[in-house]
Amino acid sequence: MGKTTKKRRGPHPSAKAELDVPVRVGQTVEVEITGLNHEGAGVGRIEGYTLFVTGALAQERVRARVEHVKKNFGFAKMVEVVEASTYRALPPCPLYDRCGGCSLQHLDYAEQLRHKQQIVRDNLRRIGGFQVEGEGAITVHPTLGMSDPWRYRNKAQVPIGEENGALVGGFYAEKSHSIIDMEACMIQHQANDDAVAVVKKLAAQLQIRAYDEQRHTGLLRHVVVKVGVKTGEVMVVLVTTEEEIPQRERLVEAIREQVAGVTSIVQNVNAERTNVIFGKKTVTLWGSDVIYDYIGPIKFAISARSFYQVNPAQTEVLYNKTLEYAGATGTETVIDAYCGIGTISLFLAQKSRHVYGVEIVPEAIADANRNAELNGVENVTFEAGPAEVVIPAWKEKGIRADVIVVDPPRKGCDEALLATILEMQPERVVYVSCNPSTLARDLKVLAERYEVREVQPVDMFPHTGHVESVALLVKDDIKN
């Protein structure tokens, strides 16, 4: 236990009286870190009380300042490393401490991958009740990482503001509305950083006023840049409070001249007092409405508003694994639940008789149909609606699936969908998950009829705490 904690004189006067915990807000403690939580914060204990320490690593002793206390756990920010982990790395980003976009840059990359594998194992064991070690255990493979885990993001969304009369663009300072100017983001594609820098410079030169969130004045709110990593095509989106842009022609002309690879310049108008980035109206100022990119052999059209995976290189790794686990040979009927813009469906269609995709957002289904057409894929059917309603309706119509793939949002699958899967009994279920805890919860339900064969974590977001994985479930005939 740290020296400071022994000197504790009881709760701080401002602390809530009912919180009988051994630390108080503002106090600096010395603490031993035993592990990392799913958000990448170090986990330590003070007299049995759990403290999450941002910036600290397992096997470290650190000094940390307590920032927030709750009944069962508290949060602290690291002040100083007393004994460093051998896996501690120097974060290359100069703004790492202030940004909060990444949480693991201070951990060696190979160790990040081991950490993510361990998070999946821990969840399967704790929440799913699965065996993850020894005979009969589920195999959780080592995380598939990137050989170069930097500058992987294909989309930048940069808030624009004014600081001391100058136009700035970067990120919001923690718990505030002021914007910290940023020139380079180490996980952002270089083309995006370059394009953002050009637009910021031009806007300042042409005296385009930055948006002031507090007063709701000014014009330029966000600069959004997307790059097709395989095609090199760049889209610049200017999000403004009004349609009228002073010296618009000069601005567009200069962006065309100075942004390498630009094929699309788009304006989106958002006049609302909101922190939602996009408004309803989108106008193409120059070039195409969309840019194109490929994941494996499949071509995608990406508009200003459409959803697209942000790390296409690792998406290809994830989808190839999904395809492998689906075990499709060309004769199967496959259902892709939570299909988004049809990415997984189109991948699977290459090796299936027919793919049925379902997704709740109608615009995403429109994109999915367009993408199918773009690739000349005819053996897919997309339907908009909740998977837990549409799939039972398909079942009623007599559609039976050999394989069901699910890729739900963080909250996992709806119970009704899991029940339908258990009734439909496809030979295989492939579960793509961005949240190991709901993955474990749902696999436990499916384990009634399915054997969980293996789980493959894939690092989609290096240097952040996100853990993506794909699980293969095979119908367990003994249980039928």
How far is residue 184 from each of residues 96, 254, 311, 416, 440, measured CA to CA in Å? Answer: 11, 21, 18, 45, 37
> CB of residue 235 vs ligand SAH: minimum separation in angstroms?
18
> CB of residue 281 vs ligand SAH: minimum separation in angstroms?
22
Establish whether 109 is an annotated binding residue: no
Give the residue with the Cβ less far from ligand SAH, 211 or 338: 338
The residue at minimum Cβ distance from ligand SAH is 340
Among 178, 409, 448, 453, binds ligand SAH (CB under 6 A): 409
Strands 234-240 and 262-269, sheet pairing:
parallel
Binding flag, residue 338, ligand SAH (CB under 6 A) = yes
**Binding residues with ligand SAH: total (CB under 6 A):** 18
Give the residue with the Cβ less far from ligand SAH, 220 or 337: 337
Give the residue with the Cβ less far from ligand SAH, 402 or 407: 407
CA neighbor of 297 nearest in space, from 340, 369, 367, 349: 349
**Count of Cβ atoms closer than 10 Å to residue 33 Cβ:** 25
Separation of alpha carbons 281 and 266, rounded Å? 11
Among 62, 120, 140, 387, binds ligand SAH (CB under 6 A): 387
How far is residue 175 from each of residues 76, 178, 181, 271, 362, measured CA to CA in Å? Answer: 15, 9, 16, 24, 34
Tell me which stretch binds ligand SAH (CB under 6 A): 28-36, 179-187, 386-394, 466-474: 386-394
**Count of Cβ atoms closer than 10 Å to residue 337 Cβ:** 28
Give the residue with the Cβ less far from ligand SAH, 123 or 322: 322
Give, as ranges, the residues between 198 and 257 that touch ligand SAH (CB under 6 A).
none
Tell me which stretch binds ligand SAH (CB under 6 A): 13-21, 61-69, 339-347, 396-404: 339-347
User: Token match 């309803």: residue?
Assistant: 280
Give, as ranges, the residues between 281 and 320 that touch ligand SAH (CB under 6 A).
309
Tell me which stretch binds ligand SAH (CB under 6 A): 4-12, 16-24, 336-344, 464-472: 336-344
Separation of alpha carbons 58 and 220, rounded Å? 43
Distance, CA of 441 to chain centre: 20
Is 93 annotated in the active site?
no
Tell me which stretch binds ligand SAH (CB under 6 A): 106-114, 202-210, 224-232, 405-413: 405-413
Establish whether 338 is an annotated binding residue: yes
Among 344, 349, 430, 446, binds ligand SAH (CB under 6 A): 344
CA neighbor of 328 nearest in space, from 402, 266, 273: 402
Tell me which stretch binds ligand SAH (CB under 6 A): 124-132, 159-167, 334-342, 423-431: 334-342
Binding flag, residue 359, ligand SAH (CB under 6 A) = yes
Establish whether 133 is an annotated binding residue: no
Give the residue with the Cβ less far from ligand SAH, 202 or 323: 323
What angle do the packed helices 248-258 and 190-205 form, to 10 degrees? 150
Binding flag, residue 32, ligand SAH (CB under 6 A) = no
Give the residue with the Cβ less far from ligand SAH, 2 or 412: 412
Binding flag, residue 393, ligand SAH (CB under 6 A) = no
**How would you class 3 by CB atoms within 10 Å of its CB: exposed for 0-12, middle for 13-18, buried for 19 or more?**
exposed
CA neighbor of 36 nearest in space, from 50, 18, 17: 50
* Sheet arrangement for strand 234-240: 179-181, 166-172, 155-163, 220-227, 234-240, 262-269, 281-287
Establish whether 414 is an annotated binding residue: no
Binding flag, residue 407, ligand SAH (CB under 6 A) = yes
Break the chain down into helix, strand, coil percent, rounded to 5: 25, 30, 40
> CB of residue 429 vs ligand SAH: minimum separation in angstroms?
15
Strands 354-359 and 380-384, sheet pairing:
parallel
User: Token match 């503001």: residue?
Assistant: 161
Q: In this structure, what are the phi and psi dihedrals at residue 192, rounded to the nearest 5 degrees?
A: -70, -45
Which positions are catalytic? 434
Residue numbers at the binding site for ligand SAH (CB under 6 A): 309, 338-340, 343-344, 358-361, 364, 386-388, 407-409, 414
Q: Can you say which residues are annotated as belonging to the binding site for S-adenosyl-L-methionine?
A: 309, 338, 359, 407
Q: Can you say which residues are annotated as belonging to the binding site?
A: 309, 338, 359, 407
